[in-house]
Structure 1
């Protein structure tokens, strides 16, 4: 197995992990509570930003990994 294919597989695995972290960070950065009929929304905008950055990096890593695997 060539080193390029190994690097491609590692990049794809890293992209899956970064995507998982990003999705969890975005989904856990907001919460809603209902108190006495009023709905209160508490969101963490910086957490959402970090989550979207992780997802963007995951896309870049995935593209790099696929390119490395297909490169001859």
Structure 2
């Protein structure tokens, strides 16, 4: 196994971790409370945006890992 394939596999594993962390960050930062028939939505938008950045990075890293795995070495 050459180094290009090893780095590709490591990038794919890293992207799965980043995606998981990002999705958890997005889902953990929104709650809603119902007080006297009034529903109040509380969310931390800056943390949600950071979660979306992690998901975007995960997609880019996954693409890089797949590129390295599929590229033919001459």
State the TM-score, normalizing by the size of structure 1: 0.97
Question: Where does structure 2 lack aligned partners over 5 or more consecutive residues?
Answer: none
Tell me what 2:10 maps to.
10
RMSD (Å), alpha carbons: 0.6
Aligned to 1:34: 34
The list of structure 1 runs, each at least 4 consecutive aligned residues, that deviate by more than 3 angstroms after superposition, is none
Q: Please name the residue that 1:62 is paired with.
A: 62
**TM-score, scaled relative to structure 2:** 0.94
Give the total of aligned pairs: 72
